[in-house]
Amino acid sequence: MTPDIINIVNAEWLGDYRIRLDFDDGFSQTLGFLPFLQRSNHPAIRACLEHGELVWGDYDLCFPIIDLYHNNIGGEAFLAQAA
């Protein structure tokens, strides 16, 4: 069951375009952004954690937290490759 309110409390860069996100309910998710970035028009953008959200640039690219929680970026689920 997904909580009503979710915040990202930690983001850890794992390399190879993978980020591990820790949420305030204790759940963790590792996302592989390579497929998304390969389709992106801006492959050189950098991610950061601001106000509990994962954003690129000056909010040029921002994912809904619920999609990050469910590993559903770009409208489809991506399987994160194991480290």
- Domain range list for the chain: 8-77
Tens-digit pLDDT profile for the chain (83 aa)? 777 888 999 999 998 889 999 999 999 999 988 787 777 666 456 667 777 777 766 666 677 888 888 888 765 544 443 33
Give the single-character DSSP code of 25: T
DSSP 79: P
**Predicted TM-score of the model (pTM):** 0.55
Question: Residue 82: its pLDDT value, please?
Answer: 33
- The residues, ordered by sequence, that sit 6+ positions from 34 with a Cβ below 8 Å of its Cβ are 16, 17, 18
